[in-house]
Structure 1
Amino acid sequence: MRRLSALALSILTTSQPVLADTPREAAICGWFKEPLVFTLWSSLTPLPVPERVTRHPDISLAEFVADDGKVLRGYRYAARDSHLPHIQPKGYLLVASGNAMISDQLIVGLGDYAAAGYDVYVFDYRGYGRSEGRRRLNAIIADYREMVARFNQRYERTLLYGISLGGLVMMNVIGAGAEFDAVVIDSSPSRLSDYGCPGWVDPLNNLSESLGSKVLIITGGRDGVLDESMVGPLRERAAALGLGTHHEAGWDHPFLDAPAVHETRQRLIREYLLGTAGH
């Protein structure tokens, strides 16, 4: 995984112009390079295994129909408490995964948020798993902007969690002005403009002091997928703006840590998201 991820990034080497009113599924990081990179990345993604979730009665299939008609599929972990199986949720958590993850892998580990009263959503990116559409960065970012806008009409509180590539996606969501209560950006690349993408997608260009205490940027010193040169500038810029940051020298890329370290990392994220949201 580590070597193929590095190879994919190395392919994006020259900038390409991005025209106004770019079609949703157009390649914005090079007409040839971006499809190739997503082909390499998606080759790391396991096939869906629905049986992973069948023993969890509070997890159900979920669908989101994007504005271009493509159907994104994933799961919802329904809010509950110790006395009632289903309750009126306090809000929702939306997770944007890493590029080699799939929704049925992630959803089963997010029960603590459901137990805290939040509906939890994880979707496969378009072109991944059971979701329709072509794998394109512009389209994926647009999908999550739409998700947050629509979910915000239904829920009172908004929690966001972006993992690796998903961190870049969520930075573009909040950078566009989405309303939210707390977001964790875990090991996101700081920029992709160095690899041929337009500057507006760079998480660095979506940071602002106005985000305040609602943002936590996490990095690990043993990250073998995105090294310090990739993740460090975002963390340093966030710290300079007074935003929340957390760095652990012994942490790897998300979900590649040893089990005990992984649980410590996830506990930090839960405490931040639920605490910031006023749980």
Structure 2
Amino acid sequence: MVTPKTYLLVLLVVLPNFAFSADREATVCGWFKERMVFTMWSSMAPNPDASRVAGNDLIQRTEFTTADDKVLKGYKYQAQDENGLATEPEGYILVALGNAMIADLMITALEQFSQRGYDIYIYDYRGYGDSQGKRRINAIIEDYKELVTHLNTKYEKQLLYGISLGGAVMANVIGSGVQFDRAVIDSSPSRLSPHGCPERIDPAENIPADAKNLLVITGEIDSVLGNDMTSEFRERAEQKGAIVFHGPNYAHPFMDSSHEIHNERLNRVINFLDGGEGN
């Protein structure tokens, strides 16, 4: 028999936790549209396949439990020395992926970041791959704020890299005031509000007043996010002191036309994160 006291405990303990979870995963860009778009985007991502990282002893599975008890699955690429052996890291680089990317496919592409002596972390967004939860932009942003705060307790040097949608996520993380040393935003849309999202999550509204520790990359031949979709963010960031590079031969990240251009782009990213000028 459920007593009044037991019922009160349910109200005081269970319902607040439920409300918190529901609030994080609430749609903010239109009830139907946000669900439809994320369903479409996630369907473009490949299925997770651990065999993609098999045989690389420097790549380890990792996971993170969010404040609303969703488990995000991902990978850590350990820092390595000149002999390809695990070494004490100089810091971490947290990567926020594009909307059709998946962690086990992308972690191997960032070997040169590991070779610079950094631990690299990539997670599948909630609702992607093996990560739990519903695909919601507000929840993803909150997850990455938590990830940065968590990793900051483990490393002295704190570096961020956002790709496409991940650039918009990282812009919001930076705009929230989290501690970081340097960040690269590669091909983020300037605004999400034209698609029904609140202006508060527009990347262009989340550039810090002093953006000198930020590198913004865009591509002149980006067929996914054209100049009209990325230029405002780039220009606003430059006005606030960011380094910007509008690559004449750059397409969308990881879609460049040659290995040479792709490698030049990744070198530009890691050189800036590692303390270089980035231009």
User: Shift in Å at residue 242 of structure 1?
Assistant: 2.0
In structure 2, the residue matched to 1:248 is 247
Q: Which 5+ residue runs of structure 1 have no aligned equivalent?
A: 1-20
Please state if 1:78 is matched with 2:100: no
Instruction: Give secondary structure in 2 for the equivalent of 1:183.
Output: strand
User: Shift in Å at residue 208 of structure 1?
Assistant: 2.5
* 1:1-279 aligned within 5 A: 23-82=23-82, 85-212=85-212, 214-258=213-257, 259-276=259-276
User: Shift in Å at residue 127 of structure 1?
Assistant: 0.3
Give the % identical residues: 49
Encode CA deviations 1:208-265: one digit per residue, 9 max, x unaligned.
33232x1000000111111111111101111122211000122110011022211111
The 8 Å contact of residues 164 and 187 in structure 1, kept in 2 or not, is answered as yes
Encode CA deviations 1:83-141: one digit per residue, 9 max, x unaligned.
58333221100000000000011111212222222111000000000100000000000
Aligned residue identity for 2:36 = L
Q: CA separation in 2, counterparts of 1:107 and 1:235?
A: 26
What's the RMSD between the two structures over aligned residues?
Answer: 1.7
TM-score, L = length of structure 2: 0.89
Q: CA separation in 2, counterparts of 1:22 and 1:126?
A: 14
Aligned length: 257
Q: Which structure is higher in RCO with an 8 Å CA cutoff and minimum separation 6?
A: 1
User: Shift in Å at residue 181 of structure 1?
Assistant: 0.9
Q: CA separation in 2, counterparts of 1:251 and 1:86?
A: 33
Encode CA deviations 1:178-215: one digit per residue, 9 max, x unaligned.
11111000000000011100111101101133232x10
Instruction: Give secondary structure in 1 for the equivalent of 2:25.
Output: coil
TM-score, L = length of structure 1: 0.89
Encode CA deviations 1:25-45: one digit per residue, 9 max, x unaligned.
010000111000101111110
Q: CA separation in 1, counterparts of 2:83 and 2:195?
A: 51
Q: Which 5+ residue runs of structure 2 have no aligned equivalent?
A: 1-20
Q: CA separation in 2, counterparts of 1:223 and 1:251?
A: 7
Instruction: Give secondary structure in 1 for the equivalent of 2:222.
Output: coil
